[in-house]
Amino acid sequence: MKQQQSKIPAVVYLRLSRDDVLKSGESLSISSQRQILSRYADDNGFTVVKEYVDDGYSGTNFDRPGFKAMKADIEAGKITTIITKDLSRLGRNYLETGYFTEIFFEEHNVRFIAIHDGVDTLRTENEFMPFRNVMNEMYAKDGAKKVRAGYRSRALDGKFTGAYAPYGYDKDPDNKYHLVVDKEVAPVVRKIFNLAAAGDSTFKIAKTLKAELVLKPRAYLAKKTGKYMNAIDKHPYDWGSTTVGTILKNEAYLGHMVGNKMTTRSFRDKRLVSRPKEDWIRVENTHEALTDEYTFKQANQLAATRKVGERKYPTDPNIYTGILKCSTCGMGLSLARQTSVKYTSGNYMCNKSRQKGKDYCSMHYISRKNLNRIVLEDIQHHIREAQIDEQKLIANLNKHNTAKKLDESANQEEKFNKKRSRECELEIIIDKLYEDYALGKISESKYESMTEKYNEEYETVVQELNYLNKKMKENSDDEDKNRRFVKLLKNYTEVTELNANLLNNLIDKIVIYDSELIDDQRTQRVDIHYKFAGLIKSSDPYTSL
């Protein structure tokens, strides 16, 4: 009786991009790849123990969840053999694909098989593999060139390529590249230009439209299309000065089309970058205008003048610039100067609340007089401690920092992992947006607006990751930091008033909380984070007002 040979355990990797679907349909589908791989495994003595799938991901980079999971398992020593349908399933980037097939897999003793390309790294006859990698990269690069050429051609023709027409217009039902006037809201656009040309600020115009219960652009779009319904549910009339400003700058309202404003960094990196203004393509009189040249220029000139014009209120310096932070939303607090005798000292208020209203954040109001008193008293207290007993102050700070560090370290790793996960998600989202854009499934304007938002978040996440990584890895001595803080304090012998130089030398930030009524006494928490020492814990963080 013939003894049955034991099968070799293997994993399979399947990938399908949207470009593959468009060009090859079902022949490259995940189910089709799975059948091919299963048949090959059965016929060649392999047993599939796990599969890794990236459905809808480009092969031009390796930021894919399925591939990352497979790579992690390789590094953990869990994989000895990988089978794919062909080399392009692994990737279309020549350098990175070559690294994995010729270096990474070999270093980790992994056998790699690409069925349709006849590649098996256990054998020696794989000389043609690098050339296939080059061909796969050329295929991806050529596709990206064709996409760019297509959008440039449409820009030269003055065609509109957005998913949704600008506020005040509709897409022509007979020609999706042409704009026609939306009679329902075109009067709103004309009113915006007329008010701006008459001297109203963007903030005042937004306030006027909100008072008149005019649906903001996104809420109006939701009403028309059924999309973005949350815009209607939450704040449908909440016009912002930025939205008004964007309308005022858009040359589409002059009847002109401006395109070719953005591009990607390369066919591998799908993140958007702005083109130089001289590369923009401007085609005039492509559709009906909603304002005239004179009104357009007048509105924008007045807006520019207001930015550099005289201040309405006295220009006494704000010594807390960049230091005050809202405890709820994290935005800064700015000084609201009043002209009445009662409030001549001014008051600090949360910027988000001032700009958008109490539905977004509370005012976190604190008078300049009270803030100055609280900060000055705290600084004076620490300076006195440093003068009386320097070593005792350092010892107290060390004790406080040890307890604080234990609390912080418990959450830092969890925060880092969450941010790292979000970074990967954003990379995938940006990549998928580019593929949708390349396939014509979303417009250039939609692509630009969405990628701009995600790129901003991506940059923020990267900065936060760098910060967390630094905090987790730093080996600096807390005692040394506290000594540096005390040394800083000893530079000052007697402080009788505050100034910007003093605050910037001693303080990182000051976090302002909402005031509270405690035992019939109005109190407010103010956290002062010092250079080197951070927040120095107080027995009672609340101050009577």
Residues 140, 199 share a domain: no
Q: Give mean pLDDT, residues 419-433.
A: 77
Burial 288-327 (b: 16+ CB within 10 A, else e): ebbbeeebbebbbebbeeeeeeeeeeeeeebbbeebbbbb
Domain count, the chain: 3
Per-residue pLDDT tens for 365-420?
899 999 999 999 999 998 988 888 888 888 887 776 655 565 565 567 778 778 87
Calpha distance 287→109 (Å, rounded): 63
CA distances from 115 to 49, 66, 318 (A): 18, 20, 69
Q: Pairing mode, if any, of strands 507-518 and 324-326? A: parallel
First to last CA, the chain: 95
Q: If you average pLDDT over every residue of the chain, what do you get?
A: 79
Place of tokens 């080399």: 87
What's the rounded mean pLDDT across residues 517-532? 86
Percent of the chain with pLDDT over 90: 26
Looking at 286, 308, 330, the residue that finishes a domain is 308
Residues 54 and 81 in one domain: yes
Same domain for 140 and 227:
no
Residues 108 and 184 both lie in one domain: no
Q: Domain check: are 487 and 389 in the same one?
A: yes
- Chain segment 307-343, per-residue pLDDT in tens: 544 445 555 678 998 899 999 988 899 887 655 444 4
Going by their DSSP bridges, the two strands 366-367 and 347-350 should be labelled as antiparallel
How many CB atoms lie under 10 A from the CB of residue 511?
A: 19
The domain that contains 177 carries what CATH number?
A: 3.90.1750.20
pLDDT tens, position by position, 52-66: 998 877 767 678 889
Residue 378 lies in a domain: yes
378 and 518 both lie in a single domain = yes
Q: Which of 266, 282, 308 is the last residue of a domain?
A: 308
DSSP 211-251: HTTPPPHHHHHHHHHS--THHHHS-TT---HHHHHHHHH-G
Is 112:121 a contact under the CB 8 Å cutoff?
yes
pLDDT at 15 over 50: yes
Residue 62 belongs to domain with CATH number: 3.40.50.1390
* Domain end position, chosen among 124, 151, 178: 151
Give the predicted TM-score (pTM) of the model. Answer: 0.45
Place of tokens 């009672």: 540
Q: Does residue 55 belong to any structural domain of this protein? A: yes
Residues 29 and 95 in one domain: yes
User: Over 90: is that where the pLDDT of 296 sits?
Assistant: yes
Residue whose pair of structure tokens reads 């939205």 in the numeric block? 243
Phi, psi of 66 (to 5 degrees): -65, -45
Range of the domain at 31: 8-151
The answer to whether residue 336 is domain-embedded is: no
